[in-house]
Amino acid sequence: MPTYEHLRKEDPEIFAALTGEMRRQQDGVELIASENYISAAVMETMASVFNNKYSEGYPGRRYYGGQEFTDQAETLAIERAKTLFDAGHANVQPHAGAPANIAVYFALLEPGDTVMSMDLSHGGHLSHGHPVTYMTKIFRFVRYKMKDPETGAIDYDAMRTVARQEKPKILLAGFSSYPRELDYAAMKAIADEVGAITMADMAHIAGLIAGKALRNPFADGFDVITTTTHKTLRGPRGGMILTRTPEIGQKIDKAVFPGFQGGPIMQMVAAKAVAFGEALQPEFRVYAQQVIRNASFLAAFLMRNGVKLVTNGTDNHLLIIDCIRSWNLSGGAVERVLDQVNITTNKNMIPDDPRKPMDPSGLRIGAPAVTTRGMREPEMEILGTFMLRAIEHRGDPATLRDVREEVTAFCRKFPVPGAQA
């Protein structure tokens, strides 16, 4: 792990911010479903001299000299990603998930073409065509939804009807707050019927797919997969695009560079290779399965204690609490109570939420980070109990202080990699 001795001397203000963040991570419970902890090896690679190198182009086809080691690192990242996800082609240069999705739109669509994706309040993502994003000025986005938020079942009949009417060029499977599995085979059949390309944004569940705990959309014939690399996949902050079709791969490579991005961030590309190497190890499968077991155990514990969950449970790493129906509190109010006891979560929309996105009805929680820390089912029960106590005694500062102290003592038994200065 870095010792930060130079930073401590050269920039005490940033050193203070960094050590504050280390303490926050070590003394708190991270339940944000999209967050995780990287290993020491990934962290070392991120903080390395690969940062100093410009590498526009792809391995063997660069616009600058001096690329023998960047080529080596990027090729390893590509080959490991292909093995991990059973893909024929990988582009590991997208800076993040939204740029990966945008690059796919630019690669495969003409202005005015239609994408069909999941409604944001039903679990979709901003970069799947939310009206506030610039992509909606260029492409048309139409929506599909759950037919029953009590189970999470998607209305595939309605999806087919809308697809026949709207003729999407891309049918997009993917989500950032949907606790169930999608039926990729059903979506592929609908896409084939209307001549659409199938795209899965597996950012949230990439590590669970890599760890063979959830189904790989390629197994059902999907054309393109996008992902971030820092959520359940436990790598550096970044994005990636995979395909099994060589022509699509060529278009995607051109769209990422030079179409949309400039030079790749080579320390992140190298760190992706390290993380993919870790995800190829047998222990990662154990991790992926434990994430799902922890989420499902916590869901069952909360429901037994009267908490109302959207879809009444989970098949993956996350749960959405309906805070209005559970406590007559907004998601934001519950997020703030839990913040006071060092439990970090995020407010979230529920399906067709009548409230505003900055103060929605739900709260999203997820198990990837606590599982990396080594927590298992008994710890999920302890965490659930902390949460319920804090919410029940939200008006009582003394109890909140007690809970925070207990949470801190509990967290110190589970070290966060890299959070000790």
Contact footprint for ligand DSN (CB under 6 A): 34, 125, 176
Beta bridge partners of 62: 57
Indicate the residue among 132 and 398 with the shorter CB distance to ligand DSN.
132
Indicate the residue among 53 and 125 with the shorter CB distance to ligand DSN.
125
Residue number closest to ligand DSN, CB atom: 34
Catalytic residue status for 231: yes
What residue type is assigned to position 370 of the chain?
V
Contacting residues for 376 by C-beta, under 8 A, at least 6 apart: 290, 293, 294
- Enter the tokens of residue 105: 């739109």
Catalytic residue status for 56: yes
- Enter the tokens of residue 160: 């087919």
Q: How far is the CB of 313 from ligand DSN (least distance, A)?
A: 20
| Dihedral angle sign, alpha carbons of residues 248, 177, 128, 277 | negative
CB atoms within 10 A of CB 103: 27
User: Among the options 4, 54, 245, 402, which is catalytic?
Assistant: 54
Q: How far is the CB of 176 from ligand DSN (least distance, A)?
A: 4
Q: How far is the CB of 34 from ligand DSN (least distance, A)?
A: 3
Q: How far apart are CA 402 and CA 100, in angstroms?
A: 44
Q: How far is the CB of 336 from ligand DSN (least distance, A)?
A: 18
Q: Are 266 and 70 in contact (CB under 8 A)?
A: yes
Q: In what order do the strands lie in the sheet with 114-118?
A: 89-91, 239-243, 224-228, 197-201, 170-174, 114-118, 140-144
Indicate the residue among 125 and 394 with the shorter CB distance to ligand DSN.
125
Catalytic residue status for 237: yes
Q: How far apart are CA 183 and CA 223, in angstroms?
A: 15
Indicate the residue among 34 and 93 with the shorter CB distance to ligand DSN.
34
Q: How far is the CB of 125 from ligand DSN (least distance, A)?
A: 6
Indicate the residue among 26 and 176 with the shorter CB distance to ligand DSN.
176
Beta bridge partners of 366: 318
Cα 397 to Cα 15, 57, 340, 402, 403, distances in angstroms = 31, 57, 9, 9, 10
Q: How far is the CB of 114 from ligand DSN (least distance, A)?
A: 23
Q: How far is the CB of 177 from ligand DSN (least distance, A)?
A: 7
SS3 100: helix
Omega prior to 354 cis, within 30 of 0: no
User: Among the options 53, 169, 180, 231, which is catalytic?
Assistant: 231
DSSP assignment of 134-162: THHHHSEEEEE-EEETTTTEE-HHHHHHH
- Enter the tokens of residue 257: 């560079």
Indicate the residue among 240 and 266 with the shorter CB distance to ligand DSN.
240
User: Among the options 30, 74, 119, 201, which is catalytic?
Assistant: 201
Indicate the residue among 225 and 270 with the shorter CB distance to ligand DSN.
225
Looking at the annotation, which residues are catalytic?
54, 56, 201, 228, 231, 237
